[in-house]
Structures are given as C-alpha cells and as structure tokens.
A and B are shown apart, each in its own frame.
Chain A
Amino acid sequence: MIEIVGSKAVAVVNDAGRFGRFVWQTIVASVLSCAKTKTYPLIWAQMNIIGVRSVPIVMITGAFVGMILAVQAYDQLVSMGLEERLGVLINISVVKELGPVLAAVMLAGRVGGALTAELGTMNVTEQIDAVRSIGTNPIRYLVVPRVLACLLLTPALIIYGDLLGILGGYFVGVVQFKINSWAYWNFSAGGVELWDVLVGVIKGFFFGASIAVISCYKGFTCKEGAHGVGQACTEAFVASFISILALDYALAVIFKAIYNTFWSVRSLV
C-alpha cells in the first residue's frame, strides 16, 4: 500500500519536473527564435490555423454570454428600479471575467485538443524523433510556433469575444427590454474603465500560453497508440481548463494589488 502511494508520488513529482523543464526549454527557445526570421513563417502558419478559424466560435460564445447575462439580470434590476444600470453589470462582467475565461475555455477545447492530437500522433509515429535525428530541436520547430501563435492570438480573440458580448447584452437590453439606449451606454461608460478591459486582455496572454504549453507537453509525452493519443487529449483539456481557472484567480489577486497601489494613485494625480 505504502509502496503504491510512494510510487504514485514519485511519478507525480517526476512528471512535474519534466513539465517544468519543458516549460523552461520552451521559454528559452521562444526567446531565441524571436530573433530568427526563419521561425516567422511557421508562427504565421500556426496563427492562421489557430486564430482565424477560432474567430466564429469565440464570437458566438461571447454573444450568448452577453445575452444570457442580460436576460438573467434584468428582472432583479427592474425590481430595484435600476434597469438602466444593466449595461454596467453586463459589460464589466464580460470584459473582465466571462469574456476572457470563456474564450480561453473554448480555445482549450478547440485548439488545445487539436495541438495535442497532432503532436501526439507525430510522437507515436516517430516524427518527433525524426526531427531530433535531423539535428533540429523539436521544441524550437514544433512547440515554439504554436505557443507564440496562441500567446499572440488569444488576447485578440478575447477582444472579439468581448465585442460580441457587449453587442449581445445591448441587443437584449435595449432592443428587447427597451431600456433607454443613451442611459444604457452612459452608465456603461461610467462603470467600465480602460483598466478593466486591459486586465481582460492581459489575461489572454497567460491563458493562451498555458493552453499551448500544456497541450504541446501532453502531445510530446503521449503514450503509444490511438488510445494513448485520445487519453492525452482528454488530459490536456482538463489540465488546461484547471490552469485557466487557477491563473484567473491568481491574476485577479495580483491585478487587484496593482490596481490598488498604482492605478488609483494615477487617477488622483
């Protein structure tokens, strides 16, 4: 019994160590390849695959989030006579939390799964070993373009998601529930600061990088066979999802501290 627990614990620590090394190598290789024009076409190709085709799904998610929030919050606000504040409520939730997190979750499913399956298949068919045998670092050739593409595109996709979330809320609030349009936007503009939008977008960099790194790692370490690849995809999604939530919490704490110390002072000056 103790033996089982012990060997499981050793396996967990080993895995964490390998993941740490993978992350470190990825960071080093990313920094190095930013200087090399040779990787730009690879990054560009991945951006097309990862980013462009994710736009519709992220926009649809955003629109529905905004609409649902409006439907759910309207009755409560009406009972307090505050329905004109609906815009603030929707827009701040979308821009700061729901937009980034839900967009990232969609990407974890859509992009993360594809990355793991692709790299996992390359792993079990020895294509990654083939890259190594040719004298090329597979992290530089395969992982870095994908991670950089995700890192750069997730914030952009989040902006699309935010935009549609705002429009969705507006559509339900103003068109369906007939809230005064001027009041809706005016209160929104007063309640949502540039800071809130920035926080949401900056989160995107972290979410994007963590989705890509986790998914690539799972692909690189996936076990033989169709079952191995499938399992790696599942694990990659679960791990990405949890890391998104954990990062979101950590970033919320950090940004709050930053806001309290710097941003508020800035506005006083």
Chain B
Amino acid sequence: MMTRRKKRKVKKDDETTEPSVIEGDGIIVIKDLTKKFGGNVVLDNISLTIEKGKTTVIIGPSGCGKTVLIKHIILLLRPSSGEIYFKGRRIDNLNENELYKVRTNYGFLFQGGALFDSLSVADNITFPIRQHYKVKYWSKFDEFVKTKLSMVGLEGFQKFYPSNLSGGQRKRVALARAIALNPEVILYDEPTTGLDPIRSDVINELILKLQRELGVTSVVVTHDMTSAYKIADRIIMLHNGKIIADGNAKHIREHPHPVVQQFIHGQVNEDDLAVLRASGTIFQTQFLPRDFEE
C-alpha cells in the first residue's frame, strides 16, 4: 500500500526511435542508460555516443529528463542500469573519489547556476583553480577573472555577491566558472534560459568560439530552438524517456514525428488546447472574490 507506483507512461511512437550511434570517435558513450526515481522511469534505455569536438544539443519539453541525462554524464546521478564511458574508459562503476579526478575534464553549467553564495563573483570563478592548483601568482588571477568576466559580458562585477545579481547574470558567472579549468568537455544545462535575446546570442557565440578555437566538446541542454539551430552539429530530442529524433538541424526541421514538429514550432498539442477552449463555456474562466463567500 505504501508502494504507490506511477504507471509507466504509454509509449505510442516507438517505431520512430532511430539508432543513435554516429560514426567517428565518441568521447562520451552512454549505453542502455535507464534511470528510475522510485517507480518513476525518467530515462528509458537510452544509448548515445557523443563525438569529440562537436556540439550536441539535447532538446525536449520541461520535465522530460534532460537535466537528469546531462547529470549522468558526469555521474552526479548514478544510473539505475546501463553504462557510461569517457574516452573509452567505463566511469559509472568508479567510486566517488576516483570520479573527482575524471570530473576535472568537464565543465558543468547548472540550470540554476549553483554559484557559491558565500563567495564573491571573483572567488566563484577562481574556485576550480584554487582547488586544483597551487596558486603563486595572485596578480595573474585578477587578469584571469577579468578576461573570463568580459567573455560573458560582466566586466566590473568581481566584487559582487551572487545574491546581488539577477538570474541571468548568475548564470553567466556560473558559465565563467564552468570554463575556468579549460575543460575538454563542457556540459551546459539551459545556458540561454532567462537571458534576453542579445545576451543569448553572446552565449551562443561563446559556445561556438570555444568549440572552434579550443576544440571543446559541448553538450547543450536547451529548449531555445534559435540557439539550438545556431550552435548544434547534432540535435537530439528526448520524449517520454526515449530519444525520438536524432540528427542535424535540417534533419530535425524536416522530421516527420508530430511531437518533434510541435516542439520546434512551439505549438500546443490539440488535446491540451481543447481543454482550454472548452473551459470558457463549461466552467467559469475566472473566479471572483464573492464566489468564495456565501
């Protein structure tokens, strides 16, 4: 009676699942990854190979498990079953201490930024370096912080604390922190959400620049299609815990799957719309204060 299990969502569109292995060397390989929270299956047997030096974009509606998937890549979450490889080495069976070393190859931008709120902006950005290197030239540090901040368009914010920044500014500081160690792989969880269109484009350019000039491998979770089209070498769409579309921007634009088309054009599902349309006639759309009094 305590084990109240959510029913597995019914999968109707199995036939459109495509093989997700692309030729070339995969720096990250995910094999048969399944993740359950209690009885709630969030990722259902996902296999994915991420190519070195490419930008892979993961799209999908809110709550479909994009964050859960990207966290599995650096084992912030452990798979219920399945395997994860980094540069050909299996990492999902390592213990936490061994993983700390592996994770220095990655930069991770959290969806909410996850800045350390007891540290200033400058200390946040230099945190990874102070953790992993013995710093002797402190004067270089100021220059380093300045460069990173100007990359994300926040010159002069060194002394601020996270609580004094807006959501978008925090995200950009978090991005500066994520790239501090010059990682080979950068994982971005919704880098442009909450930014104005121009800032978003700056971030897009930054992601492209890192890829072109430093050969960084990027995995970007987003539901901003403008950004996805601009930066993606490959776009993957998640739906109900499965990959339902996988290919370049053109492939996605012309994808036959109705859910993909709805998502990329930002259209409401007809069924959802029907409820809204009906409610105006059947129910009162708005309650007035006197409705709650006798």
**What separation, in Å, do the CA atoms of A258 and B96 have in the docked complex?**
41
Total interface residues on B, CB under 8 Å, equals 26
A131-160 CB contacts (< 8 Å) to partner B: 132-137, 141
Min C-beta distance of B55 to chain A, whole Å: 20
Using Cβ atoms and an 8 Å threshold, which residues of chain A touch B101? 135
Contact present for A135 and B76 (CB under 8 Å): no
Known contacts A132-B76, A136-B100: A127-B116 contact under CB 8 Å: yes
Interface residues of B in 102-117 (CB under 8 A from A): 102-104, 106, 108, 110, 112, 114-117
Please indicate the chain B residues that have their CB under 8 angstroms from the CB of A135 in the complex.
Answer: 100-104, 128, 131-132
Contact A126 B114 (CB under 8 A): yes
Render A167-210 as a binary contact track against B, CB cut-off 8 A, 1 for contact: 00000000000000000000000000000000000000000000
Closest to B105 in A: A135
Task: Kindly identify which residue among A3, A126, A141 contacts B112, using a CB–CB cutoff of 8 Å.
Answer: A126
Cβ-defined contact, A132 with B103, below 8 A: yes
Complex formed: what's the CA distance from A132 to B110 in Å? 12
B1 and A134 within 8 A (CB): no
Give chain B residues whose Cβ lies under 8 Å from the Cβ of A133. Answer: 74, 76, 103, 106, 108, 110
Q: What is the bound-complex CA distance between A136 and B101, given in angstroms?
A: 9
Q: How many A-B residue pairs have CB under 8 A?
A: 56
A137-B100 contact, Cβ under 8 Å, with A3-B1, A3-B2, A129-B76: yes
Q: Does A130 contact B (CB under 8 A)?
A: yes
CA distance A182 to B117 in the complex (A): 56
Count of interface residues, chain A, beta-carbon cutoff 8 Å? 16
B114 near A125: Cβ-Cβ < 8 Å: yes
Q: Could you say which residues of chain A place their CB within 8 Å of the CB of B157?
A: none
- Specify the chain A residue showing the minimal Cβ separation from B187: A133
- Give B77 Cβ to nearest chain A Cβ, in Å: 9
A125 cross-chain contacts in B, Cβ below 8 A: 112, 114, 117
Most buried by B among A125, A132, A135, A136: A135
- Which residues from chain A contact B100 at a C-beta distance below 8 Å? 132, 135-137
Q: Assess whether B97 is in contact with A130, with CB atoms less than 8 Å apart.
A: no
* 0 or 1 for each of A235-263: is its CB under 8 Å from B? (1 = yes): 00000000000000000000000000000
**Contact sample, A vs B, 10 pairs, CB 8 Å cutoff:** A125-B114, A126-B114, A127-B114, A127-B117, A130-B110, A133-B103, A134-B131, A134-B181, A135-B100, A135-B128
A-binding residues in B (CB < 8 A): 1-3, 71, 74, 76, 96-97, 100-104, 106, 108, 110, 112, 114-117, 127-128, 131-132, 181
Q: Which 5 A-B pairs have the closest CB atoms?
A: A130-B114, A126-B114, A135-B104, A133-B108, A135-B103
